[in-house]
Chain A
Amino acid sequence: MWLAVLAASLGAAAAGRVLGKAVTAALVVVVPFALWALAIHGLFFPEGRTVLAAFGPARVTAEGLAYAGGIVLRTAALVVVMLAFSTWVEVPVLRAALVRRGVPAQLGYVLSTALGLASTVAERLERIREAQEARGLVVRQSLPGRIVAARLQVVPLVLQLVDEAGERAPALEARGQALPGRRTSYVDEPDSRAQRALRWVLAVASLAVVVSVMVPAVAGVLGGGR
């Protein structure tokens, strides 16, 4: 089942022409997770019965491997679905779509600003490092040396960012960020009747799945608890 989800989301990513980006981003997340899952559950699974190989305290068991495989597959499905969305989506369009559906405008502001800032901050950190190195900063191997170096780079960054945020606040205020009421957007979201219908179908279907799984689970716990 998880393989089907994986295939479907990869297909969607391919249709959205972001397959490469989505796969790269997903591999960055999934590969370390899979390695650790193998290390934890593949080697050490005291409940396992079928021992395939043993090295001292580490025993490779069939049950452990199956468990790790299941977890990794499930996580990979979750990760790929979400990354296929986040690599495909254009943040301004997402923001317009959210605002049009009555989501507080603040959420759109925070999302788009944070995603925009993330790319500039890395660049700015680089510039601060260069400036500090020009002033004679040498990153030493020792732990205190690293802490000093981190402090010299992080404190200016934080000061700069917080100060900028303080300056942005009056500007936002002057543009009526805090006012209630309708927002107009420069960006229009592409939409069609078919898409709208499909969305409703999918929403109802997922709601049905969630309810059909959750109700017995919750009822079971409540019944068992008493």
Chain B
Amino acid sequence: MSHQLTVDAPRRSPLRTFLTILGVAAVVATYAFLIVSEPADVVNGPSASSALVALVGFGLAMVLLFAGILPTLPTTTLALIPVALVLNIVLGQFVGSTLVPIYLDSIGTVLVGYLAGPSAGATTGLLSNLVWSFFNPSVLPFAAGAAAIGALAGLSARLGIVRRFYLVPIAGLVTGFVAAAIAAPIAVIVFGGTATGATGAIIALFRAAGEGLVQSVTTGAFTSDLPDKLVTFSVAAALAYALPRRSTQRFEFVRRYRVLAGAKRTGEPADSKAAPAA
């Protein structure tokens, strides 16, 4: 056992990459199953088998992704993840039960995606729902959507979208689209299309107009997720720029892909005074 004190975290190995791919495959397969078996007749009551398939499939994917990604994360990222989880929960409650159909419960996840990359973002999304389910277990089935949000946030940072901040809202809209597409079947199958707050009101509105359940829930998901992710991505980008460079440049992902604008040029006055409120 001759470890050096500064040994690197075990990075990617073929086995871990395989596990990660398997996890993504499990998400895709479960999702495909849910779409194909989407209940046409809601009158016969909630179908238990589809809900079980959803929970088992996404649960399996969660385990695989954890096993594949967690050991490869550098310690700086690992230390940031709990903070992001708490931010998700606290900022989500901050907005709380307003009648605007947004929840803002993924700002921390998106921030980690920006600072530490897609796989860290996906892990944060999964962990966030896992930890949140200690207080509110009804968020657990939506973990796959949270993982997709984190991964897409990391991907957009890597493509330089956060650097060109006028593109951030567009990335948010795209993510909102994906998140809604993932969340809607889960909301129908596991919770019978019941949602609380403004999303629930939208669903009730469409149901009152005589729409089908799947239709109404999908509409509700899109009307709440698109603006929500737009705001989330913008707020997270604003936070990333408000952080002192000492904090952001600690992340290898930020340095390597030059995620934030103005990172190369030194002596930019706006950067060193970016946090007047602190």
Cβ proximity bits B4-31 to A, threshold 8 Å, 1 near / 0 not? 0111111000000000000000000000
Q: A107 on the interface (CB 8 Å rule)? A: yes
Question: Are A221 and B37 touching (Cβ within 8 A)?
Answer: yes
Given A36-B195, A40-B194, A155-B242, A111 and B131 contact (CB-CB distance below 8 Å): yes
Q: A162 on the interface (CB 8 Å rule)? A: yes
Question: Are A114 and B204 touching (Cβ within 8 A)?
Answer: no
Q: A169 on the interface (CB 8 Å rule)? A: yes
Q: A6 on the interface (CB 8 Å rule)? A: no
Question: Are A177 and B75 touching (Cβ within 8 A)?
Answer: yes
Residue with the greatest number of chain B CB neighbours at <10 A, chosen from A151, A166, A213, A225 = A166
Within 8 Å CB of A25, what residues of B?
A: 135
Question: Are A106 and B90 touching (Cβ within 8 A)?
Answer: no
Those of A115-154 within 8 Å (CB) of chain B: 115, 117-118, 121-122, 125, 150-152, 154
Question: With A and B bound together, what is the CA distance between A26 and B146 in angstroms?
Answer: 23
In the complex, residue of chain A having the shortest beta-carbon distance to the beta carbon of B130: A111
Question: With A and B bound together, what is the CA distance between A16 and B169 in angstroms?
Answer: 48
Q: A100 on the interface (CB 8 Å rule)? A: no
Residue with the greatest number of chain A CB neighbours at <10 A, chosen from B50, B51, B75 = B75
Cβ proximity bits A63-96 to B, threshold 8 Å, 1 near / 0 not? 1001110111011001101110010000000000
Within 8 Å CB of A83, what residues of B?
A: 137
Instruction: Report which of B135, B138, B208 forms a contact with A33, defined as CB distance below 8 A.
Output: B138
Instruction: Report which of A72, A86, A106, A214 forms a contact with B49, defined as CB distance below 8 A.
Output: A214
Cβ proximity bits B79-101 to A, threshold 8 Å, 1 near / 0 not? 11111011101110010000000
Least CB distance from A26 to B in Å reads: 9
- Of the stretches B40-48, B151-159, B171-179, the one at the interface is B40-48
Question: Are A214 and B3 touching (Cβ within 8 A)?
Answer: no
Given A47-B43, A82-B140, A214 and B131 contact (CB-CB distance below 8 Å): no
Question: With A and B bound together, what is the CA distance between A125 and B138 in angstroms?
Answer: 26
Instruction: Report which of A29, A41, A43 forms a contact with B138, defined as CB distance below 8 A.
Output: A29
Q: A164 on the interface (CB 8 Å rule)? A: yes
Cβ proximity bits A147-174 to B, threshold 8 Å, 1 near / 0 not? 0001110111111111111101110111
Question: With A and B bound together, what is the CA distance between A218 and B36 in angstroms?
Answer: 10
Residue with the greatest number of chain A CB neighbours at <10 A, chosen from B1, B73, B91, B191 = B191
Least CB distance from B217 to A in Å reads: 10
Question: Are B82 and A107 touching (Cβ within 8 A)?
Answer: no
Question: With A and B bound together, what is the CA distance between A90 and B83 in angstroms?
Answer: 21
Residue with the greatest number of chain A CB neighbours at <10 A, chosen from B73, B85, B197 = B85
Given A114-B131, A156-B277, A78 and B137 contact (CB-CB distance below 8 Å): yes
Q: B200 on the interface (CB 8 Å rule)? A: yes
Question: With A and B bound together, what is the CA distance between A96 and B53 in angstroms?
Answer: 30
Question: Are A67 and B53 touching (Cβ within 8 A)?
Answer: no
Q: A181 on the interface (CB 8 Å rule)? A: yes
Question: Are A178 and B138 touching (Cβ within 8 A)?
Answer: no
Question: Are A217 and B193 touching (Cβ within 8 A)?
Answer: no
Cβ proximity bits B181-196 to A, threshold 8 Å, 1 near / 0 not? 0000000000111111
Least CB distance from A28 to B in Å reads: 8
Least CB distance from A162 to B in Å reads: 5
Least CB distance from A219 to B in Å reads: 11
Residue with the greatest number of chain A CB neighbours at <10 A, chosen from B49, B53, B82, B277 = B82
Q: B160 on the interface (CB 8 Å rule)? A: no
Within 8 Å CB of A118, what residues of B?
A: 86, 89-90
Q: B residues bordering A, Cβ < 8 Å?
A: 1, 3, 5-10, 33, 36-37, 42-43, 45-46, 48-53, 56, 66-67, 70-71, 73-76, 78-83, 85-87, 89-91, 94, 111, 127, 130-131, 133-138, 140, 191-197, 200, 203-204, 207-208, 210-212, 239, 242-244, 246-247, 250, 275, 277-278
Given A106-B70, A159-B247, A166-B76; 14 other pairs, CB 8 A cutoff: A43-B208, A44-B204, A106-B73, A110-B81, A110-B127, A114-B81, A114-B82, A154-B91, A162-B243, A165-B82, A166-B79, A213-B49, A214-B49, A214-B52
8 A-B pairs, CB-CB below 8 angstroms?
A86-B137, A107-B127, A158-B242, A161-B83, A166-B79, A178-B74, A214-B49, A221-B37
